C-alpha cells in the first residue's frame, strides 16, 4: 500500500503527524486528506503550520470563506487542523479557535432497485461489476471497497471483514449468497488472469500489487450510470445510500442498519428515513382511518 506522503524528504513535523495518524489507525484516504488540508494552512502562512497564531487561523478561515470554499470542505479542513493542533503540536488553545460552520444536510441521491440493477449490468467487466456489487450489497464506503483483501471474505460466517474503516474502526459487513457467488466468479476469473492470489487485494488495480483506486471506482460508477441511461448524479457512495434506504424500506431495524454501515451515531443512520419513500407510502394516514370521505369523488384542482 502506498504511503500517503510524497517522495520528497519528510520533515520531522510531518513525520510526527503521520505517526499520530497511524497510531489511531486512520485510513489512507483520511491521512491523505489531513496532509493536504494542513498543507493549505502552511501555504497560506508561507511557513510551518506549527508557528500559526490565533490571528493567523482567523485570517485563514476568513480568506477561505471569501474565496467561496464550500462549507463541507471548510469543516473538513477544521477537522484536520484540530487534530494537528490537539494531537501533534499540543496546542488545544489554537484548536478551539477554529470555527465549524453549520450547513443544511442535503438529502442523499438514492437509486431505485431497478436503477441499481441496470447500473450493475452496465459495467464493462466482471471486476467492476463485483466491486460495485460489494458497495451496494454490503453498504461499504468506496475506500473500504478499495482496501478489501481476498482473506477478508468469511464464507463460513457469511461476513466481509472491514479493517480500518472510517475513524480506523473495524467491523463486519454482511455477505449475501448472491454476492458470494459473484465474488467466487471473480476469484476464478482473476486467477485465470494472473492478478488474484489469496493474500492479495480483492480488486487489484492495473498494478496487481496495488488496489483499485477510489478515483478509478468513481469513474467506473459514473461510466456505468451513463451507459445505463441514469440521469441522477451518481457516485460510489450512492450505492451505499441505496443499500441503507432499501433495507429501511424493507423493514430492517434502523439500529441494525447502523451496525452494518459502521455509523458511530444512530442519528446519522436515521437520516435515511427522509428518503425511504416506500416506508412513507406504507403508512396509513390517520385521516384515512376516520373514513369520512369514502366514496366521495376527488375535489377539482
Judged against a pLDDT cut of 70, whether residue 297 lies above it is answered with no
Is 237 a known active-site residue? Answer: yes
Is 128 a known active-site residue? Answer: no
**Any domain includes 6:** no
What range defines the domain where residue 217 resides?
113-281
Q: What is the pLDDT of residues 103-134, one digit of tens each?
A: 776 778 889 999 999 999 999 999 999 999 99
Set 127, 240, 241, 246: catalytic member: 240
Judged against a pLDDT cut of 60, whether residue 288 lies above it is answered with yes
Instruction: Select from 28, 61, 95 the last residue of a domain.
Output: 95
What's the chain's average pLDDT? 86
Do 279 and 248 form a contact (C-beta atoms < 8 A)?
Answer: yes
Within this chain, do residues 154 and 275 fall inside the same structural domain, yes or no? Answer: yes
What does the block give as the cell for 259? 451496525
Number of domains forming the structure of the chain: 2
Set 14, 166, 241, 246: catalytic member: 166
Is 103 a known active-site residue? Answer: no
Which residues contact residue 287 at a Cβ distance below 8 angstroms, ignoring those fewer than 6 apart?
Answer: none
**Any domain includes 107:** no
**Any domain includes 186:** yes
- Taking the mean position of all CA atoms in its chain, how far away is CA 184? 25
**Any domain includes 257:** yes
The CATH number for 206's domain is 1.10.443.10
Within this chain, do residues 83 and 131 fall inside the same structural domain, yes or no? Answer: no
Q: What is the pLDDT of residues 224-236, one digit of tens each?
A: 999 999 999 999 9
Q: What is the pLDDT of residues 185-241, one digit of tens each?
A: 999 999 999 898 989 999 999 888 889 999 999 999 999 999 999 999 999 999 999
Instruction: Select from 68, 95, 122 the last residue of a domain.
Output: 95
Within this chain, do residues 153 and 244 fall inside the same structural domain, yes or no? Answer: yes
Within this chain, do residues 72 and 207 fall inside the same structural domain, yes or no? Answer: no
Is 263 a known active-site residue? Answer: yes
Instruction: Please state, as a whole number, how many other Cβ atoms lie within 10 Å of the Cβ of residue 186.
Output: 22
The CATH number for 47's domain is 1.10.150
Distance CA 260, CA 141 (A): 11
DSSP H stretches of helix in the chain? 12-23, 28-45, 54-66, 71-83, 92-95, 113-121, 126-137, 142-146, 177-193, 214-227, 236-249, 254-261, 266-270, 277-282, 286-290
- Considering all CA atoms of the chain, what is the largest pairwise distance in Å, rounded to the nearest integer? 79
Q: Does the reported pTM lie above 0.85?
A: no
Is 272 a known active-site residue? Answer: yes
Distance CA 41, CA 213 (A): 27
Amino acid at each position: 500500500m502506498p504511503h500517503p506522503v510524497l517522495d520528497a524528504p519528510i520533515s520531522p513535523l510531518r513525520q510526527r503527524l503521520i505517526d499520530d495518524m497511524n497510531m489511531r489507525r486512520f485510513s489512507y484516504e483520511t491521512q491523505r486528506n489531513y496532509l493536504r488540508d494542513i498543507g493549505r494552512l502552511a501555504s497560506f502562512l508561507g511557513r510551518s503550520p506549527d508557528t500559526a497564531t490565533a490571528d493567523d487561523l482567523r485570517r485563514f478561515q476568513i480568506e477561505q470563506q471569501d474565496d467561496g470554499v464550500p462549507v463541507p470542505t471548510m469543516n473538513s479542513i477544521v477537522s484536520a487542523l484540530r487534530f494537528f493542533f490537539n494531537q501533534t503540536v499540543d496546542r488545544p488553545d489554537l484548536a478551539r479557535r477554529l470555527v465549524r460552520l453549520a450547513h443544511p444536510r442535503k438529502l442523499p441521491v438514492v437509486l431505485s432497485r431497478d436503477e441499481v440493477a441496470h447500473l450493475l449490468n452496465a459495467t464493462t467487466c466482471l471486476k467492476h461489476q463485483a466491486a460495485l456489487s460489494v458497495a451496494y450489497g454490503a453498504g461499504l464506503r468506496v475506500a473500504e471497497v478499495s482496501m478489501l483483501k481476498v482473506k477478508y471474505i468469511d464464507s463460513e460466517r457469511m461476513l466481509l471483514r472491514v479493517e480500518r474503516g472510517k475513524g480506523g474502526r473495524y467491523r463486519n459487513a454482511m455477505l449475501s449468497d448472491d454476492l458470494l457467488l459473484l465474488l467466487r466468479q471473480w476469484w476464478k476469473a482473476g486467477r485465470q488472469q494472473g492478478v488474484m492470489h489469496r493474500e492479495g487485494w480483492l480488486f487489484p488495480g492495473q498494478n496487481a500489487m496495488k488496489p483499485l483506486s477510489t478515483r478509478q471506482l468513481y469513474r467506473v460508477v459514473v461510466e456505468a450510470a451513463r451507459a445505463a441511461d441514469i440521469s441522477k448524479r451518481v457516485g460510489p457512495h450512492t450505492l451505499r445510500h441505496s443499500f441503507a434506504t432499501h433495507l429501511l424500506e424493507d423493514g430492517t431495524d434502523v439500529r441494525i442498519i447502523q451496525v452494518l454501515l459502521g455509523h458511530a451515531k444512530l442519528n446519522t443512520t436515521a437520516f435515511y428515513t427522509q428518503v425511504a419513500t416506500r416506508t412513507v407510502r406504507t403508512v396509513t394516514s390517520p385521516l384515512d382511518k376516520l373514513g369520512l370521505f369514502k366514496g366521495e369523488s376527488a375535489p377539482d384542482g
